Amino acid sequence: MDVAFTHVSLWTLVAFVVTWTVFYVTNRRTKEKKAAKLVDAAAEERKKGGADVIIVGAGVGGSALAYSLAKDGRRVHVIERDLREPERMMGEFMQPGGRLLLAKLGLEDCLEEIEAQKAVGLAVYKDGQEAVAPFPVEDNNNFPYEPSGRSFHNGRFVMRLRQKASSHPNVRMEEGTVKSLIEEKGVIKGVTYKDSAGEETTAFAPLTVVCDGCYSNLRRSLNDNNAEILSYQVGFMTKNCRLDEPEKLHLIMGKPSFIILYQIGDTDVRCVFELFPGNIPSIANGEMITFMKNTIAPQIPLKLCKIFLKGLDDGAHIKTMPTKSMAATLSEKEGVVVLGDAFNMRHPVIASGMMVLLSDILILRGLLKPLSNLGDANKISEVIKSFYAIRKPMSATVNTLGNAFSQVLIASTDEAKEAMRQGCYDYLSSGGFRTSSMMALLGGMNPRPISLIYHLCAMTLSSIGQLLFPFPSPIRIWHSLRLFGMAMEMLVPHLKAEGVNQMLSPTYAAAYRKTYMAATAF
């Protein structure tokens, strides 16, 4: 019996080894054949005059990049999930710095014929106080463009960009859903996607750009960074009305956080406020409308409140959107670049996401322009590393400012936190150098991290001074120390995340200024 059992066990082991060997060899050959077919398909597509670049996503970034690369002679294939006009309540404001970059890319006319509204600065409200913080008009010799922003319907702007990109003969824009990236030995060769007819197909190019937004599914296969949900923005649009001062963004320092109203069309006003996870009233059962009428509306100045309430009374469609933060990281894969919210996110309160994106496109375009062959993986890798470093002065300034500003705006009963919040209001409303410098930072007119650090420290010291006034009692000294500690907690982690050397290095600053100032040559 023991001998029979031994024979059965032996033959079972032999059968297992043989089966596993056959499976391994077959599977390996299948993969090799598949890889060979992909290489052959890519080569065949290039022979037929295929694309130099594939862009996944035709939002602001994808469309702007497609047009820019097409002008440089690149053949661009854009694949967008839905080519209908998008409906969003994000991406509705272009800072002055963003308009400058848009003009350099030859896309300034995309802000025309969409009822874009001119914005000259902020109107800030707190506890019955009101102040105006304009974008600096004088002493802005380093910013050679009209110092004003534009607010608009995001969908209209996106459609204008798509039309402009599609009009170029080097751009092929197609509706389709990208399912995956085609990879061979760590190099991205193209994409697999379903076209508008539902048929699965492939597209190949030496360079693939993933620009499919904050909900990107492809990002997970390229980077290990995760987006953190900070809060939620609740908003709606009031129709058939106009603000008394439509040329300003109206920022109310309310509770639990900020409330913003701004004109996005000739007769359309966007109303937005911030709530935090765990405290979101239900829209479906009417709790949200009750909350807005009873809690949010009473905090809004009367001249603005009537427009806020009109939207609710007219049955405006209420939306909620998560605000996310995600540090930028480079992918280890070659032949691919990630841009936009799929690459880097920050709190949207300073409305500068599109400006960072356009800055990234301008840098990337400039680095790619001298390359005759985008198929050289080593050169493309060098370009991507340079791009990551050169973008830092703009991206780090905006990321740090956005996240710090959003934290300061949160209402609190803590004396130190409220002193910082009041200090922010006082700094913005003080006029002169402090106001103009902060608005230049907010508007992307002076994207310098060192300037940001200076003003954040100055704001902190000013808040401490107010807290210690009229005399430094022990409890006031204690609150001042806590305030300083909170300010450092806001600043230092972002400095580490962005990279202190890259943020403050004169080399990177000079490289970015060269790119940025090149944008003055129209």
- The CATH number of whichever domain residue 369 belongs to comes to 3.50.50.60
In the chain, how many domains are there?
A: 4
Q: What long-range pairs does 224-228 form, CB within 8 A, spacing at least 24?
A: 224/329, 225/326, 225/327, 225/328, 225/329, 226/326, 227/324, 227/325, 227/326, 227/345, 228/324, 228/325, 228/326
Residues 246 and 291 in one domain: yes
pTM of this structure = 0.89
And the tokens for 366? Answer: 């400039």
E strands present in 437-501? none
What is the dihedral sign for C-alpha 25, 30, 35, 40? positive
Residues 204 and 233 in one domain: no
Residues 288 and 317 in one domain: yes
And the tokens for 432? Answer: 């002169």
Within a domain: 520: no
Can you give the pLDDT of all 522 residues of the chain as single tens digits? 455 545 555 656 666 666 666 666 566 555 445 444 544 444 455 555 689 999 999 999 999 999 999 999 999 999 999 999 999 899 999 999 999 999 999 999 999 999 999 999 999 999 999 999 999 987 555 777 889 999 999 999 999 999 999 999 999 999 999 999 999 988 999 999 999 999 999 999 999 999 999 999 898 889 878 889 999 999 999 999 999 999 999 999 999 999 999 999 999 999 999 999 988 999 999 999 999 999 999 999 999 999 999 999 999 999 999 999 999 988 889 999 999 999 999 999 999 999 999 999 999 999 999 999 998 888 999 999 999 989 988 999 999 999 999 999 999 999 999 999 999 999 999 999 999 999 999 999 988 888 999 999 999 999 999 999 888 999 999 999 999 999 999 888 888 888 777 777 777 777 777 766 554 444
Residues 84 and 207 in one domain: yes
Tell me which residue range forms the domain holding 262. Answer: 228-324
Is the bond preceding residue 96 a cis peptide, omega within 30 degrees?
no
Contact 416/483 with Cβ under 8 angstroms? yes
Residues 446 and 462 in one domain: yes
CB neighbours of residue 183 within 10 Å: 18
Question: What is the Cα–Cα distance from 152 to 167, expressed in whole angstroms?
Answer: 22
Residues 99 and 188 in one domain: yes
Query: The CATH number of the domain where 302 resides is what?
Result: 3.30.70
Residues 185 and 94 in one domain: yes
Place of tokens 């005059």: 49
**Phi first, then psi: what are they for 373, rounded to 5°?**
-125, 105
Residues 95 and 174 in one domain: yes
